[in-house]
Amino acid sequence: MLKPSAVLIVLLSLQLNFIGSSLSQETKMNKKPNIIFLLTDDQSTITMGCYGNDEVKTPNLDQLATDGMIFDRHYVTTAICMASRANIFTGLYEFRTGCNFTTGNLTRKIWETSYPMRFREAGYRTAFAGKFGIVIENEKQLPSQDFDLWGGGPGQTNYMTSRNPAMKKYAESFPHSTLSYAAFSKDFINQSVNENVPFCLSISFKASHRPVQPDPQFDTIYENTVFTKPKNYGRENGLHLAEQSKTGRQYPRFEEWGYSDDYVNVMRKYNQQIYGVDVAVGAIRRELERQGIEDNTIIIFTSDNGFLCGAHGYGSKVIPYEESTRVPLIIFDPRHSTSGKRLRCNSLTGSIDLAPTMLELAGLTAPKNIDGISLVPLLQTPSKPVRKSLSIMNFWGPATTHSFGVVTNSWKYLYWYSQEKDMLATEELFDLNQDPGELKNAAYDDSNLETLNNMRKLYDKHLYEINEKAVRPVYRQYKDLFDRKQTWTNKQEILRKTPRQ
C-alpha cells in the first residue's frame, strides 16, 4: 500500500501531466501551420493515377490525394504559364493582374498583395524555387529579396540544375532540376524547424514543360507501357469544335509533337517527367516526417495549365477545352477531420481561389476585392460549392484564337468572336456532366435553349467585369470584341486600332 506522501506525489505528477498535455494541445492548436505549394508546368490530369489513369505510376501523388482531398472540377482561368502564375499568386483574373507575355508585367503594387508577400508580412519564413514565370514591372531582377530562401530562375528555367545560378549548389548531386527542388525543400524545411518559425514554401517545377528532357535515371519506368488514347483523341473528334480554335499553334502541334503518329512514345516521355515530380513529392513528405512536422504542414499540389495531348486533334494548351484548362488539384490539410477519408470534391474551383485558400488555412486575411474565393469550406463539405461560375479566357496568340467563356458546376459556355477568314462568330456549350470529353457542342440543340440563354446571361455578366475592372487599356477592348451583340464591322474597327500581338 502507498504511503499518503507517495499518493500525493502521484496525484501531483498526474496533475502536472494533465496540465502538460493540455498545454501541448493548446500550443499545437495555436501553432501556425506550414504551407507547401507545389506547382507543375503543363500537367494534364491524365498523368496521375488518382485521376483515373491506371497506366501511370504516381504513388506519392496518389498517397497525397488519399491523405487529403482531390478536386475534379478545378480550372485555371487562363491556360498559359505567365498569366496563370500571376492569377495563382494574386487571386485575380488576368484582366486584373494585367500580366501575360504580350500584355504586360505585374506591377510591384499588385505583387505586394500576392500570397508569398502576405505570408512574409505575417511573420512566416518564405522560399521559392523553380520557374518564377512572371516579371515584376520595371525591375531588372526577380524578387529574390522578397523571400528568405531563393532558388528561382527567370523565363522558362532549365532542366539542367547547373543552369540556374540560385540552384547551382545542388547540381552535382541532382543534375536534373526536378529532384534538385526536393533537395532545396529539405534544406528550407530544416532551417525553418531550427529557427522554429512557420514557413511557406513554393516550388515551381519545370516539369512537364517542353523541351522533353525527363530525368534519365527514370528511363526504364515506362519503357514497356503502352498508353491508351483518350476517347476524344484525334482530329475526328475535333470536327465539331470552333474553327477559330484550329487557327493557332495547337492545331499543327498535334502532328509536329508526335501525337498523331507516335503517341505511345510521346506519352512515355511526358509521363516520365511527372514520375520525377512524384519522387520529389515523396522526398519532401519524408522530410516533414523526419522533422516531426507532418501533422502541421499543409500541402497543395496543382499545375499552371493542362495539356491537350492529342485530345480533339490538338497539342499544347491555351485554348479553353477541358484538357487544357482543367488541371490537377490536391489539398492536404493534416489538421482537418476529413483528411484521410478519401474524399473527392466535384464542386467548381479555380486557380484564383488558391491564394485566399492558403491564407485562410493559416488564419490570415486575403486582400479585399480579389476574384478568388477561399476553398476552405469545401474541405468540410465538398459537395457544397463555394462558387457558381468562373471565367475562362484567352487573349494570347493570334486574335482568331482569342476566346472568353464561363464555366459552372455543370456547363461550359465559350464564345469566339473572330470572323476573319470567313469564319462565323461561334458559341459552344458543353454539358460537362454528360459529356466530359466535349464531344458534342450543345449550343445548337433546341432542347438546350433555356440553358444556353442562362449561360449567355452569365457570360455577359462576367464579360462586364472586364469593363469595370481591367487594369490596362489593352484589356478594355475585349469588352467590345467579346460582346455577342456588337457587329463584326465595329469589332474590325477596334482591331484595326489595336496593335496586333
Q: How many residues contact Ca ion, by CB under 5 A?
A: 5
Q: Contact, 188 vs 167, CB < 8 A?
A: no
Q: Contact, 223 vs 271, CB < 8 A?
A: no
Contact region with Ca ion (CB under 5 A), list: 77-85, 99-107, 233-241, 411-419: 77-85
Residue placing its CB nearer to Ca ion in the complex, 130 or 385: 130
- Confirm or reject binding of residue 88 to Ca ion (CB under 5 A): no
Question: Cα separation of 17 and 163, whole Å?
Answer: 54
Residue placing its CB nearer to Ca ion in the complex, 84 or 114: 84
Q: Contact, 140 vs 154, CB < 8 A?
A: no
Contact region with Ca ion (CB under 5 A), list: 38-46, 68-76, 215-223, 288-296: 38-46
- Which x/- pattern, by CB under 5 A, does the window 350-389 give for Ca ion? ----------------------------------------
> For 261-360, where are the E strands, in sequence order?
297-303, 329-332, 343-345, 349-350
The residue nearest Ca ion at its CB is 81
Residue placing its CB nearer to Ca ion in the complex, 61 or 81: 81
Contact region with Ca ion (CB under 5 A), list: 36-44, 49-57, 100-108, 118-126: 36-44
Residue placing its CB nearer to Ca ion in the complex, 210 or 235: 210
Minimum distance from residue 362 beta carbon to Ca ion (Å) = 26
Minimum distance from residue 41 beta carbon to Ca ion (Å) = 4
Question: Cα separation of 131 and 27, whole Å?
Answer: 36
Copy the grid coordinates of residue 265.
Answer: 512514345
Question: Sign (positive/negative) of CA torsion 351, 352, 357, 358?
Answer: positive
Q: Contact, 317 vs 250, CB < 8 A?
A: yes
Question: Of 36, 41, 270, 330, which one interacts with Ca ion (CB under 5 A)?
Answer: 41
Minimum distance from residue 304 beta carbon to Ca ion (Å) = 4
- Confirm or reject binding of residue 452 to Ca ion (CB under 5 A): no
Minimum distance from residue 79 beta carbon to Ca ion (Å) = 8
Q: Contact, 417 vs 482, CB < 8 A?
A: yes
Residue placing its CB nearer to Ca ion in the complex, 70 or 81: 81
Residue placing its CB nearer to Ca ion in the complex, 42 or 278: 42
Q: Which helix (H) or strand (E) holds 464?
A: helix 449-469
Question: Sign (positive/negative) of CA torsion 459, 462, 466, 468?
Answer: positive
| DSSP summary character for residue 233 | B
- Confirm or reject binding of residue 42 to Ca ion (CB under 5 A): yes
Residue placing its CB nearer to Ca ion in the complex, 142 or 463: 142
Question: Cα separation of 289 and 334, whole Å?
Answer: 12
Residue placing its CB nearer to Ca ion in the complex, 94 or 304: 304
Contact region with Ca ion (CB under 5 A), list: 250-258, 301-309, 350-358, 460-468: 301-309
Buried b (16+ CB within 10 A) or exposed e, 421-438: eebebbbbbbbbeeeebb
- Confirm or reject binding of residue 323 to Ca ion (CB under 5 A): no
Minimum distance from residue 306 beta carbon to Ca ion (Å) = 9
Residue placing its CB nearer to Ca ion in the complex, 81 or 142: 81
Copy the grid coordinates of residue 491.
Answer: 469589332
Q: How many residues does the chain have?
A: 501
- Residues paired with 320 in a beta bridge: none
- Please state the φ and ψ torsions of residue 341, each to the nearest 5 degrees: -100, 10
Query: What does the radius of gyration of the chain's CA atoms come to, in whole angstroms?
Result: 24
Q: Which of 178, 159, 161 is nearest to 170 (CA)?
A: 161
| DSSP summary character for residue 161 | G
Contact region with Ca ion (CB under 5 A), list: 76-84, 97-105, 386-394, 484-492: 76-84
Residue placing its CB nearer to Ca ion in the complex, 130 or 151: 130
Question: Is the peptide bond preceding residue 208 cis, with omega within 30 degrees of 0?
Answer: yes
- Confirm or reject binding of residue 305 to Ca ion (CB under 5 A): yes
Contact region with Ca ion (CB under 5 A), list: 34-42, 43-51, 189-197, 320-328: 34-42
Per the listing, cell 527514370 goes with: 218
Contact region with Ca ion (CB under 5 A), list: 119-127, 213-221, 299-307, 320-328: 299-307
Q: Let me know if 169 is exposed, middle or buried by CB neighbors in 10 A (0-12, 13-18, 19+).
A: middle
Please list the alpha-helical segments (H only) found in 367-434: 376-380
Residue placing its CB nearer to Ca ion in the complex, 39 or 280: 39
Question: Of 39, 81, 343, 359, which one interacts with Ca ion (CB under 5 A)?
Answer: 81
Residue placing its CB nearer to Ca ion in the complex, 215 or 304: 304
- Confirm or reject binding of residue 304 to Ca ion (CB under 5 A): yes
Q: Contact, 73 vs 386, CB < 8 A?
A: no
Contact region with Ca ion (CB under 5 A), list: 39-47, 183-191, 318-326, 426-434: 39-47
CA atoms within 13 A on the CB side of 481: 28
- Confirm or reject binding of residue 322 to Ca ion (CB under 5 A): no
Minimum distance from residue 403 beta carbon to Ca ion (Å) = 18
Minimum distance from residue 85 beta carbon to Ca ion (Å) = 8
Minimum distance from residue 291 beta carbon to Ca ion (Å) = 31
What residues make contact with Ca ion under the rule CB under 5 A? 41-42, 81, 304-305
